[in-house]
C-alpha cells in the first residue's frame, strides 16, 4: 500500500513538473516576444503576419492562425499604448499582405516592361497602405485592453472593424479577410448566413488569440476551454444545418460553363480575336451539348462589341440551345458626337435568335485596371487594353430573362464585396460571376477569388455560378458546397444543373453587416468602460 502511495506521489510530482515546465516555456516565449526590440521585433511581426496568410486559401494551414494572433497579442503586450503598438501591427500587416497579394504584380508583367515601373508599387506600396489598417487595429486594441480575456476580445473587435473599413474606404478592397480561412470547411462557413464574413473574422481572431491567456500571472485556462467549445459548437451547428437540407435543383435547367484557357498576353491580339471566338464556340458545341439548356462564357470572352456585330451575334445563336440562352462577357460601346465613345465591361444575355435580351454593366470598377482615378492629375495609362477608361454601371440588379430564374450579375471582383452583391429591388434567385483571372497566372490569386465567391453564396443563400477564362470556374450551391469545379489553367466545360436558391433570404441577406459592426463597437466600448471603472475604484 505504501509502495503504491509512493508511486502515486512520484507520478503526481512528475506531472506537476511537466506542467510547470510547459507553463514556464509559454511564459518564456511570451516574455521574449514582448521584450523584443529593433530589427528582431520587426522580423517577429513580419513572420507572424506571414503565418496568418498561410491559413488562407489555397493553403488553409489553420493552426498557424493561433501562432499569428496569439503571437501578435504577446508582442503587443510589450509595446505600450503609443506608436510602438501601431508599428507592431503595421509590420504584421505588411507580412500578411505582401505574400497575400504578390500575384497582382503578374498583371503588370503581361505586356512586358510597359508597366514594370508599377511592380514595386503593387508588391510593397499597396501592402504598406493596407497595413495601416492592421496597425490602427493593434494600436486601438492595445489602448483599450490591459489584461485577461479583454485582450483577445479587443484585438478581435478592432481587427474586424479594420477589415470592414478596408472593405469600404477608397472604393474598398476586402480581399483576404481572416474568415476566409474557413473555406476549407463547409460546416464552418454556415455561420456566415447569420453573421457574414466579418462575423466569422471576429470569431476567428478571438479564438485564435485566446491561447495568449496561458501566459502571465492572470492565466485563464477556462476561457481557452470555452473558446474550444465555441469552435466545436460552430462546426457542429454548421454540420447539422447541412445534414438537415436536401440538394435541390431548378427544373429543366442544365448549364454549360465554358473555360477556354486563353493566356492574357494573347487575349486582345487583333490577329487572334477570331480564333478566340471560335474556341469558345467549339467548346460550347462540344459533345454533350444536346443535354444542356444554357451556355455561360467568362468576362470579355467575346472580343467584339456585340451590339455592333450582327455576324458575331448570329454565330452565338448557333450554339444557343433551342429555347435557351447564352450569358457572355463582352465590352459594350456607346458612340457620342465628336468621335467620343464610352465603354462598359458588360454581361449580355443572348437568345437563340441572336437577340440581346438583357445587359448588365459592371458597376464596381478596378482602380488603375479599368480606370485611372483622378485622371486629370495622373496622366498614366490604365492596365487593361485600350486607352479609354471604362464607365461604371448603375449597380447590382436582378435580370429578368425568359426560361431562367431572375439572375444577379457580378463581373470580376464585384463578388468580393460582402453585402453588395444583391441590389435593393427584386431579389435574384442565383448569382453569375464572370471573371478573367488569367491576369494573375498560376498563383494564389484565383484560389482566393473563388473562395470569396463561395462565401457570398452562403451569405446570400443563393447559388453562385462562376465562369473564369483560365479558371477557377464552378458552381456553388446556396450553402457554399462546391457542386462542380474546373481547375486552374484547364480548358474545357462544366455541365451541371442549376442549384435552387434557399426558400427565404438568410438573416445576413436581410440585415447585413450592421449587427457585427455594432457588436465590435460594443465590445470596445464595454472593455474601455470596465477598465476606467476599475482604475477609478
Closest CA to 446 of 500, 488, 404: 488
Task: Note whether 204 and 318 are same-domain residues.
Answer: no
In the set 158, 163, 299, 460, the catalytic residue is: 299
pLDDT value at position 100?
A: 97
User: Does 95 reside within a domain?
Assistant: yes
User: CB within 8 A of 93, min separation 6: which ones?
Assistant: 49, 127, 130, 131, 132, 133, 134, 135
pLDDT value at position 370?
A: 87
Report yes or no: 368 and 413 within 8 Å, Cβ to Cβ: no
User: Does 342 reside within a domain?
Assistant: yes
pLDDT value at position 64?
A: 98
Task: Note whether 392 and 323 are same-domain residues.
Answer: yes
Say whether 158 is catalytic. Answer: no
Report yes or no: 126 and 94 within 8 Å, Cβ to Cβ: no
Report yes or no: 85 and 139 within 8 Å, Cβ to Cβ: yes
In the set 50, 267, 362, 520, the catalytic residue is: 362
Say whether 362 is catalytic. Answer: yes
Task: Note whether 342 and 212 are same-domain residues.
Answer: no
pLDDT value at position 379?
A: 78
Write down the pTM of the prediction.
0.93
pLDDT value at position 22?
A: 60
Task: Note whether 438 and 323 are same-domain residues.
Answer: yes
Please state whether 95 falls in left (phi above 0), alpha (psi between -120 and 50) or beta.
alpha
User: Does 509 reside within a domain?
Assistant: no
CATH of the domain at 477: 3.60.110.10
Backbone angles phi, psi at 482, to 5 degrees: -75, 115
User: CB within 8 A of 325, min separation 6: which ones?
Assistant: 294, 295, 349, 350, 351, 352, 357, 401, 402, 403, 404
Task: Note whether 190 and 335 are same-domain residues.
Answer: no
Report yes or no: 290 and 327 within 8 Å, Cβ to Cβ: no
Domain limits for position 175: 33-243+518-536
pLDDT value at position 16?
A: 47
User: Does 22 reside within a domain?
Assistant: no
Task: Note whether 160 and 264 are same-domain residues.
Answer: no
The tally of domains found in the chain comes to 2
Please state whether 389 falls in left (phi above 0), alpha (psi between -120 and 50) or beta.
beta
pLDDT value at position 18?
A: 41
Task: Note whether 300 and 196 are same-domain residues.
Answer: no
User: Does 301 reside within a domain?
Assistant: yes
Tell me, what DSSP letter sits at residue 406? -
User: Does 407 reside within a domain?
Assistant: yes
Task: Note whether 230 and 270 are same-domain residues.
Answer: no
pLDDT value at position 146?
A: 66
What is the Cα gyration radius of the chain? 26
Burial bucket for residue 491 (CB in 10 Å: 0-12, 13-18, 19+): middle
User: Does 5 reside within a domain?
Assistant: no
Task: Note whether 202 and 291 are same-domain residues.
Answer: no
Task: Note whether 65 and 40 are same-domain residues.
Answer: yes
Report yes or no: 265 and 110 within 8 Å, Cβ to Cβ: yes
Per-residue pLDDT tens digits for 72-106: 999 999 987 678 999 999 999 999 999 999 999 99
User: Does 153 reside within a domain?
Assistant: yes
Say whether 267 is catalytic. Answer: no
In the set 158, 163, 370, 412, the catalytic residue is: 412
Task: Note whether 237 and 255 are same-domain residues.
Answer: no
Task: Note whether 309 and 446 are same-domain residues.
Answer: yes
Show pLDDT as tens, one digit a residue, over the chain (537 residues): 555 545 455 545 543 444 455 677 888 998 899 899 999 999 999 999 999 999 999 999 999 999 999 999 999 999 876 789 999 999 999 999 999 999 999 988 888 788 888 899 999 999 999 999 999 999 999 998 867 888 999 999 999 999 999 999 999 999 999 999 999 999 999 999 999 999 999 999 999 999 999 887 666 778 888 889 999 999 999 999 999 998 999 999 999 999 999 999 899 889 999 999 999 999 999 999 999 999 999 999 999 999 999 999 999 999 999 999 999 999 999 998 888 899 999 999 999 999 999 999 999 999 988 888 877 777 788 787 777 888 999 999 999 999 999 999 999 999 999 999 999 889 999 999 999 999 999 999 999 999 999 999 999 999 999 999 999 999 999 999 999 999 999 999 999 999 999 999 999 999 999 999 999 999 999 998 887 777 666
Amino acid at each position: 500500500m505504501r509502495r503504491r502511495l509512493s508511486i502515486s506521489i512520484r507520478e503526481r510530482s512528475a506531472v506537476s513538473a511537466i506542467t510547470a515546465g510547459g507553463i514556464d516555456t509559454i511564459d518564456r516565449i511570451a516574455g521574449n516576444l514582448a521584450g523584443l526590440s529593433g530589427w528582431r521585433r520587426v522580423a517577429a511581426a513580419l513572420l507572424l503576419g506571414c503565418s496568418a496568410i498561410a491559413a488562407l486559401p489555397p493553403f488553409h494551414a489553420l493552426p498557424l492562425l493561433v501562432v499569428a494572433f496569439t503571437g501578435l497579442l504577446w508582442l503587443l503586450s510589450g509595446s505600450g499604448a503609443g506608436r510602438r503598438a501601431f508599428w507592431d501591427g503595421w509590420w504584421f500587416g505588411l507580412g500578411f499582405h505582401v505574400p497575400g497579394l504578390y500575384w497582382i504584380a503578374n498583371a503588370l508583367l503581361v505586356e512586358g516592361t510597359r508597366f514594370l515601373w508599377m511592380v514595386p508599387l503593387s508588391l510593397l506600396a499597396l501592402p504598406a497602405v493596407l497595413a495601416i489598417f492592421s496597425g490602427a487595429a493593434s494600436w486601438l486594441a492595445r489602448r483599450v485592453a490591459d489584461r485577461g480575456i479583454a485582450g483577445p476580445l479587443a484585438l478581435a473587435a478592432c481587427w474586424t472593424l479594420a477589415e470592414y473599413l478596408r472593405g469600404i474606404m477608397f472604393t474598398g478592397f476586402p480581399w483576404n479577410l481572416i474568415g476566409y480561412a474557413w473555406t476549407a470547411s463547409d460546416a464552418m462557413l454556415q455561420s456566415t448566413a447569420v453573421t457574414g464574413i466579418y462575423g466569422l473574422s471576429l470569431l476567428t481572431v478571438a479564438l485564435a488569440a485566446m491561447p495568449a491567456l496561458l501566459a502571465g500571472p492572470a492565466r485563464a485556462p477556462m476561457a481557452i476551454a470555452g473558446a474550444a467549445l465555441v469552435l466545436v459548437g460552430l462546426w457542429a451547428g454548421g454540420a447539422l444545418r447541412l445534414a438537415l437540407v436536401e440538394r435541390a435543383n431548378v427544373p429543366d435547367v442544365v448549364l454549360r460553363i465554358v473555360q477556354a484557357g486563353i493566356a492574357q498576353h494573347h487575349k486582345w491580339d487583333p490577329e487572334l480575336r477570331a480564333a478566340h471566338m471560335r474556341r469558345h464556340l467549339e467548346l460550347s458545341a462540344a459533345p454533350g451539348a444536346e443535354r444542356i439548356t444554357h451556355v455561360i462564357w467568362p468576362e470579355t470572352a467575346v472580343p467584339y462589341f456585340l451590339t455592333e456585330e450582327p455576324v458575331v451575334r448570329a454565330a452565338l445563336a448557333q450554339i444557343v440551345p433551342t429555347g435557351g440562352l447564352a450569358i457572355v462577357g463582352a465590352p459594350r460601346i456607346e458612340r457620342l458626337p465628336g468621335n467620343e465613345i464610352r465603354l462598359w465591361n458588360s454581361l449580355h444575355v443572348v437568345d437563340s435568335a441572336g437577340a440581346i435580351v438583357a445587359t448588365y454593366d459592371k458597376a464596381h470598377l478596378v482602380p488603375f485596371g479599368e480606370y485611372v482615378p483622378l485622371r486629370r492629375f495622373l496622366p498614366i495609362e490604365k492596365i487593361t487594353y485600350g486607352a479609354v477608361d471604362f464607365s461604371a454601371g448603375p449597380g447590382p440588379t436582378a435580370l429578368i430573362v425568359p426560361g431562367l430564374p431572375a439572375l444577379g450579375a457580378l463581373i470580376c471582383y464585384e463578388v468580393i464585396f460582402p453585402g453588395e452583391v444583391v441590389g435593393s429591388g427584386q431579389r435574384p434567385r442565383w448569382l453569375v460571376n464572370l471573371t478573367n483571372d488569367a491576369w494573375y497566372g498560376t498563383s494564389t490569386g484565383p484560389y482566393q477569388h473563388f473562395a470569396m465567391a463561395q462565401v457570398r453564396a452562403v451569405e446570400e443563400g443563393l447559388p453562385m455560378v462562376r465562369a473564369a477564362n483560365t479558371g477557377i470556374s464552378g458552381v456553388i450551391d446556396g450553402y457554399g458546397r462546391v457542386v462542380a469545379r474546373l481547375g486552374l489553367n484547364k480548358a474545357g466545360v462544366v455541365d451541371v444543373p442549376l442549384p435552387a436558391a434557399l426558400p427565404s433570404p438568410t438573416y445576413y441577406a436581410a440585415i447585413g453587416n450592421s449587427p457585427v459592426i455594432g457588436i465590435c463597437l460594443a465590445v470596445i466600448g464595454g472593455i474601455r468602460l470596465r477598465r476606467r471603472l476599475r482604475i477609478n475604484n
